[in-house]
Amino acid sequence: MPQTSAAAAMTPETGIDRLHQLVRDDLERVDALLLDVAKNDVTLIPEISKHLIVSGGKRLRPMLTLASARVCGYQRGMHHVTLAAAVECMHTATLLHDDVVDGSSLRRGQPSANALWDNKSSVLVGDYLIAQAFRLMVRAESLPVLDILSDAAATIAEGEVLQLATMHQLDAGKDAYFRVIAAKTAKLFAAACEVGAELSDQRAHRTALRTYGHALGMAFQLTDDALDYGIGTSEKRLGKAIGDDFRDAKVTLPVILAYAAADASERRFWERAFTPGQQQKEDWQQARQILARHQALEQTRAEAGRFLQEAAAALNNLPESQEKSALLEVLEFCAARTY
Amino acid sequence: MPQTSAAAAMTPETGIDRLHQLVRDDLERVDALLLDVAKNDVTLIPEISKHLIVSGGKRLRPMLTLASARVCGYQRGMHHVTLAAAVECMHTATLLHDDVVDGSSLRRGQPSANALWDNKSSVLVGDYLIAQAFRLMVRAESLPVLDILSDAAATIAEGEVLQLATMHQLDAGKDAYFRVIAAKTAKLFAAACEVGAELSDQRAHRTALRTYGHALGMAFQLTDDALDYGIGTSEKRLGKAIGDDFRDAKVTLPVILAYAAADASERRFWERAFTPGQQQKEDWQQARQILARHQALEQTRAEAGRFLQEAAAALNNLPESQEKSALLEVLEFCAARTY
């Protein structure tokens, strides 16, 4: 069970490094598959795909698929590698479309694809990668797996559309916000874990790993939301511009909590700062002060902590193994992470 | 074998009406499935999806799937309906992204989704529909079918990216252009037919129907290219703005042919008119005059005619049936069509 105090004593790298070491060989195979998928004589396709694939993502989702398959005793072949690549490929496609929709200029510390090329190319290469993700899934020859991942793809898109409709609503409320991030972020974490379990004969573990993935994904997104307000991190470390959510007037949990607790003057501040065209440069510092006054970032990370506990509990009935320990350490990484 | 003279004597409606009558009941089931897929409490999803689904597309691709399954004797269930809906769903998603990439304002005589809503919503609802298309495919429980359609999805995106890279090249050449339209248009026609065949036990017909679909798709796109220069049609009849390709400086076969045959002055005209920001309003009439001088539209429709002959020949070895006759009549529709 992750504790904030234990997590603070541990460097974040430890939490994810054990998992990385355990699946290192398979992860290299995943990378090779991804580069293979990006190969195309239409040069824009490998250029844009590789820009994202080699740009230093944490590969957390494919590692979850690989570890989940191993936790459940999968040893019969290489389908876990194929599916891990499919999951990362789907994630990469989502990033390309996300950056178009958000108008982002930075991704993982590098200029985003839509900034380097253009929106059109990002949309179409994203479509190409979604299709390639499905081609990889088909190679794993499992209809239940295809069911899980096509359902996830639909839910992710649904979450993105829902976010578009609600992202500027200061009074959206925690539950509505949780619905958005459950769909757009946590669903792929859940599916990444679940397909690993589905490959083995241990079907009983499927629910446990889906629950673990969902809760980890929720915590991961909430931590992202807090980090975007720049507590305990820097742009360089985070690999993306701090304050993007605020500048884009994207309402995330810290703001929802601070707005709910605001006095009349603070409410007026948030309403103006989140009105298109009304935000001023000095608002950023004031936003951080108000968030600090209401401990909104601490509360957000505490919500993340509750999901991390839920994730840990989900693994209770799984047999002990190195992979299970590594999955538990991922939760500590998430609790402590600054990037 | 379609003949231009025979086709001219026949109203285009006849050609597609027979097919429509034969599959009418199943097509109603396809429409019900599509409306079901569009249902979502995130209101933007049904709004945008239905805008396209009920906006009077010809439903040619799903009809091809239904007829292909029947030609091959498929009678065991409703998977042909599910797959026809998947094919149309995939096509609808492509249209949404196409309109974003092209910046189109009109689609089937109605304002396009990106014009009514915005690019962001069109990108994300397109993603939702692609995912739903795969969910439908999974329901047909056939890995070979999933292989065909995921391959098609990747090829379509590849074709769109290739078009982005080559669409302004006046000297692209016929072969390069055929590669683009084979991928972006003909591949889905081919897959729509092939999956129908794959459902039955008549695997030998799979190649025949794929070839038929490919050739029909090529002819369909070339006819579109000619119609966009407004010969024998009107904006109202065509259901979209005439001259879009020219205004967007999108090089299609008529222009490739006219440019290849151009004298020095005509070459200068095309080069200026296809340079961003250089096109003038009166260029449209001059473009049509030059196309007429070189019979570029007639040549384009003649190329379409050759593909229609190839499509007809592909069906030679299929057993006679009402559906086969209807598929042959579709070729006549395509040869004569003005919309």
Query: Sign (positive/negative) of CA torsion A94, A97, A98, A104?
Result: positive
Q: What does the pLDDT read at residue A9?
A: 41
Closest CA–CA distance from residue B92 to any residue of chain A (Å): 13
Q: What does the pLDDT read at residue A238?
A: 58
Closest CA to B66 of B75, B58, B57: B75
Closest CA to B60 of B39, B106, B102, B91: B91
- Say if B4 falls within a structural domain: no
Tens digits of per-residue pLDDT, A195-251? 999 998 787 899 999 999 999 999 999 999 999 998 655 656 656 668 888 988 999
The answer on pLDDT for B267 being more than 50 is yes
Mean model confidence pLDDT for chain A: 90
Cβ–Cβ gap A147/B161 under 8 Å: no
Q: What does the pLDDT read at residue B236?
A: 62
Pairwise pLDDT comparison (B177 vs B6), residue with the higher score: B177
Query: Looking at the complex, does the CB of residue B146 fall below 8 Å from at least one CB of chain A?
Result: yes
Mean pLDDT, range A9-22, rounded to an integer:
73
Closest CA–CA distance from residue B188 to any residue of chain A (Å): 13
Phi first, then psi: give them for residue B107, nearest 5 degrees. -150, 120
Contacts A–B by Cβ distance under 8 A: 124
Range of weakest confidence among A116-120, A275-279, B159-163, B323-327:
A116-120
- Say if A338 falls within a structural domain: no
The answer on pLDDT for A117 being more than 90 is no
The percent of residues in chain A predicted with pLDDT above 90, rounded, is: 73
Mean pLDDT, range B267-271, rounded to an integer:
97
| B111 sits in which H/E element | strand B110-111
Q: What does the pLDDT read at residue B8?
A: 39
Q: What does the pLDDT read at residue A234?
A: 61
Range of weakest confidence among A115-129, B83-97, B171-185:
A115-129
Cβ–Cβ gap A42/B97 under 8 Å: no
Interface test with B, best of A37, A41, A42 (most B CBs within 10 A): A42
Cβ–Cβ gap B161/A100 under 8 Å: no
Query: Looking at the complex, does the CB of residue B36 fall below 8 Å from at least one CB of chain A?
Result: no
pTM exceeds cut of 0.95: no
The answer on pLDDT for B317 being more than 60 is yes
Q: What does the pLDDT read at residue B300?
A: 96
Which residues partner with B110 through β-bridges?
B107
Cβ–Cβ gap A165/B119 under 8 Å: no
Closest CA–CA distance from residue A269 to any residue of chain B (Å): 28
Mean pLDDT, range B154-169, rounded to an integer:
93
- Say if B2 falls within a structural domain: no
- Say if A164 falls within a structural domain: no
Q: Taking CB atoms and an 8 Å cutoff, what residues of chain A touch B123?
A: 97, 100-101, 123
Tens digits of per-residue pLDDT, B69-117? 999 999 889 999 999 999 999 999 999 998 888 877 777 777 888 877 8
Q: How far apart are the first and last CA of chain B?
A: 22
How would residue A167 be classed by pLDDT, with cut points 50, 70 and 90? Answer: confident
Cβ–Cβ gap B130/A153 under 8 Å: yes
Q: What does the pLDDT read at residue B3?
A: 40
Q: What does the pLDDT read at residue A5?
A: 38
How would residue A8 be classed by pLDDT, with cut points 50, 70 and 90? Answer: very low
Q: What does the pLDDT read at residue B16?
A: 87
The answer on pLDDT for B288 being more than 80 is yes
Query: Looking at the complex, does the CB of residue A146 fall below 8 Å from at least one CB of chain B?
Result: yes
Question: Which residues 39-78 of A are in CB contact (within 8 Å) with B?
Answer: 40, 42-45
Q: What does the pLDDT read at residue A231?
A: 65
- Say if A160 falls within a structural domain: no
Mean pLDDT, range A138-147, rounded to an integer:
96
- Say if A155 falls within a structural domain: no
Radius of gyration of chain A (CA): 20
Mean pLDDT, range A46-62, rounded to an integer:
87
Q: What does the pLDDT read at residue A237?
A: 61
The structure tokens 């025949």 sit at: B208
Range of weakest confidence among A81-90, A125-134, A223-232:
A223-232
**Total count of domains within chain B:** 1
The span from the CA of B189 to the CA of A299, in Å, is 54
How would residue B135 be classed by pLDDT, with cut points 50, 70 and 90? Answer: very high
Cβ–Cβ gap B135/A143 under 8 Å: no
Cβ–Cβ gap B164/A138 under 8 Å: no
Query: Looking at the complex, does the CB of residue A101 fall below 8 Å from at least one CB of chain B?
Result: yes
- Output b/e per residue, B123-154; b: 16+ Cβ within 10 A: bbbbbbbbbbbbbbbbbbebeebbbbbbbbbb
The answer on pLDDT for A11 being more than 60 is no
Chain B residue nearest residue A99, CA to CA: B120
Name the H helices within B44-142: 44-53, 60-71, 79-102, 113-116, 119-139
The answer on pLDDT for A266 being more than 50 is yes
Query: Looking at the complex, does the CB of residue B135 fall below 8 Å from at least one CB of chain A?
Result: yes
The answer on pLDDT for B2 being more than 60 is no
Q: What does the pLDDT read at residue A12?
A: 46
DSSP assignments along A141-203, one per residue: --HHHHHHHHHHHHHHHHHHHHHHHHTT-TT--HHHHHHHHIIIIIHHHHHHHHHHHHHSS-T
Chain B residue nearest residue A130, CA to CA: B154
| CATH for A134 | 1.10.600.10
Tell me if A50 sits within 8 A of A38, measured CB to CB. Answer: yes
The span from the CA of A249 to the CA of A231, in Å, is 18
- Say if A335 falls within a structural domain: no
Mean pLDDT, range B225-242, rounded to an integer:
72
Q: What does the pLDDT read at residue A336?
A: 85
Burial (CB count within 10 angstroms: exposed 0-12, middle 13-18, buried 19+), residue A203: exposed
Closest CA–CA distance from residue B168 to any residue of chain A (Å): 15
Cβ–Cβ gap A135/B127 under 8 Å: no
- Say if A47 falls within a structural domain: yes
The span from the CA of A194 to the CA of A156, in Å, is 16
How would residue A3 be classed by pLDDT, with cut points 50, 70 and 90? Answer: very low
Mean model confidence pLDDT for chain B: 90
Range of the domain at A283: 6-144+169-330
Q: What does the pLDDT read at residue B9?
A: 41
How would residue B5 be classed by pLDDT, with cut points 50, 70 and 90? Answer: very low
The percent of residues in chain B predicted with pLDDT above 70, rounded, is: 92
Token pair for residue B54? Answer: 């009920």
Q: What does the pLDDT read at residue A10?
A: 44
